[in-house]
Chain A
Amino acid sequence: MKLARYVKFREEKFGGVLFETRSEKVYTLNPTATAVVREIQAGSDERDIPGRLKARFRDGGGAIEREATAFLAELREKGLVED
């Protein structure tokens, strides 16, 4: 999985922004979503990303894992990532 051709990512103090330049849509990302995008850019396997974030953020309740899973699905749905 990688960011789609027309998608640009930039880190910000609050997290990050994803910019789909073809439709000219901007998505503001919270720190969890930003961490997901960083993992995608690092080449992590999509299936491993929620678990990796869970471990890194010591996410005992699983909230971050669920959030990351939902965000990955949303990235696919919006066409912001490709294989």
Chain B
Amino acid sequence: MTETASTRGAGPQVPASTPAATESGDLGAPLYIAWQVTNECNLACLHCIEESGPGKAFHDELNDEQVFRVLEQTMDLEVPYLSFSGGEPMVHPRFFDMVEYVCGRNGQLKIETNGHYLTPENCARLKELGVKAVQVSLDGASRETFNRMRVRGDFDLALQGVRNLHAAGVPIEINYSPTSFNVHEIGIAVDLAAELGAYSFYTGRTMYTGNAVKTWHRMAPSEEQYGPFFEVLHAKVDEYRGRMRVYFHEMGLLEELRYRLHHPAALLIVLPNGLVKLINALPFVCGDLRRQSLAEIWGHFQRAWQDPRVAKFVDDLAQDPRKTATLHQWVHL
């Protein structure tokens, strides 16, 4: 048999896109798994989209055996990129064992944390294990705004955590959620992230879901506030070009979901109990890792996006943007 190479489409230099933007189409497995490893959290943030907090672990979170079975499947399928979030992932009792397993099998792993457990020892361990990056939520450039938003949180502790990461040599990303009372600090927050040694800064519109449903009236930024917020960000993109990537979603949720209906991303969202969602901003579940393999769920993922209930939900969202309040009432497809 003669092996034949043929070019496909635009050749090897197909334009790059991000994993979340890459369509799942013909891929044999996801490119990215965003795993909420627990719903437990040491903080009770006003805007938390997951309704996490102290004592908020799901009663049916994956046990150790299930966790490592999923990790094994993920690595066997050569999923190149994972993130661990929560809740607060670092309160998971097997957190470092999970990190060690993924990094030990050469997976690229990002940790998304509130930064309160980033002691010098833990940062050194993360460096030693070889995590790709640690993303820390710093919603505010001052103690006043941060502590108001991150109930039970401590700005100084989070800041020290980021400094510990930098000292240990762990790549840093900063995440920022805007509210009516911190939105004016965005410029200072971007500068602070750069000063702390971050290589990426992420932000976007705060979503009306989770804890934000209850606190929306006292924390949601107005459209008048979002205007200058995004203007500053556009300027910061230029200011930090080549030094730190300033990345933000200006597009509204509805536009994003309408695009996704026809172009599902190569991304699976895994909940603490092993349920797998189509995308965080929809209530639809396309699999259960307690009963199905990751490969089976990936096989079902494309069909699940075509379920008419998904398009109807997005259409309904256009009429009633507050339907995002129901994202935690899971619908199994």
**A33–B55 Cα gap in the complex (Å)?**
50
Residues of B within 8 A of A31 (CB): 5-8
* Given A22-B132, A25-B18, A56-B3: A74 in contact with B28 (beta carbons within 8 A): no
Residue B96 at the chain A interface, CB threshold 8 Å? no
* Given A21-B108, A21-B132: A67 in contact with B17 (beta carbons within 8 A): no
Residues of A within 8 A of B18 (CB): 24-26
**A52–B25 Cα gap in the complex (Å)?**
31
**Do A12 and B26 touch (CB < 8 A)?**
yes
Residue B11 at the chain A interface, CB threshold 8 Å? yes
Q: Which of A5-49 contact B (CB under 8 A)?
A: 6, 8, 10, 12-15, 17, 19-33, 35-36
Residue B290 at the chain A interface, CB threshold 8 Å? no
Task: Select which of A26, A33, A71 is within 8 A of B31 by beta carbon.
Answer: A26
* Given A17-B31, A31-B5, A57-B4: A71 in contact with B81 (beta carbons within 8 A): no
Q: Which secondary structure characterizes the binding site on chain B?
A: loop
**A33–B11 Cα gap in the complex (Å)?**
8
Residues of B within 8 A of A27 (CB): 12, 14, 16
**Do A10 and B29 touch (CB < 8 A)?**
yes
**Do B7 and A30 touch (CB < 8 A)?**
yes
**A19–B19 Cα gap in the complex (Å)?**
8
Q: Which of A45-83 contact B (CB under 8 A)?
A: 53, 56-59, 64, 67, 70-71, 74, 78
Closest to A14 in B: B26
* Given A21-B132, A35-B5, A64-B5: A12 in contact with B28 (beta carbons within 8 A): yes
**Do A6 and B132 touch (CB < 8 A)?**
yes
Q: How many contacts A-B (CB < 8 Å)?
A: 99
**Do A14 and B8 touch (CB < 8 A)?**
yes
Residues of A within 8 A of B108 (CB): 6, 8, 19, 21
**A28–B199 Cα gap in the complex (Å)?**
25
**A15–B5 Cα gap in the complex (Å)?**
10
**A67–B12 Cα gap in the complex (Å)?**
8
Instruction: Report the interface size for chain B: residues with CB under 8 A from the other chain.
Output: 34
**A17–B27 Cα gap in the complex (Å)?**
9
Q: Which of B17-68 contact A (CB under 8 A)?
A: 17-22, 26-29, 31
**Do B5 and A53 touch (CB < 8 A)?**
yes
Residue B274 at the chain A interface, CB threshold 8 Å? no
* Given A8-B81, A26-B19, A27-B14: A57 in contact with B8 (beta carbons within 8 A): no
Residue B9 at the chain A interface, CB threshold 8 Å? yes
Residues of B within 8 A of A57 (CB): 3-5
**A12–B20 Cα gap in the complex (Å)?**
18
Closest to A32 in B: B5
Task: Select which of B5, B8, B13, B80 is within 8 A of A19 by beta carbon.
Answer: B80
**Do A32 and B199 touch (CB < 8 A)?**
no
Residue B245 at the chain A interface, CB threshold 8 Å? yes
Task: Select which of B4, B6, B14, B26 is within 8 A of A13 by beta carbon.
Answer: B26
Residues of A within 8 A of B8 (CB): 14-15, 30-31
Min CB distance A8 to B, Å, is 4
**Do B14 and A28 touch (CB < 8 A)?**
yes
* Given A19-B31, A21-B80: A26 in contact with B17 (beta carbons within 8 A): yes
What would be 16 A-B contacts, judged by CB atoms less than 8 Å apart?
A8-B80, A10-B78, A13-B26, A19-B31, A19-B108, A24-B18, A24-B20, A25-B18, A26-B16, A27-B14, A29-B14, A58-B2, A67-B12, A71-B11, A74-B12, A78-B16
- Beyond the given A15-B8, A30-B7, please list 14 additional residue pairs across the A-B interface where CB-CB is below 8 A: A6-B108, A8-B80, A8-B108, A14-B26, A24-B19, A25-B16, A26-B17, A28-B14, A29-B12, A32-B5, A53-B5, A58-B4, A59-B5, A78-B16
What 8 A-B pairs have minimum CB-CB distances, sorted nearest first?
A33-B12, A8-B80, A25-B16, A30-B8, A21-B108, A71-B12, A28-B14, A57-B5
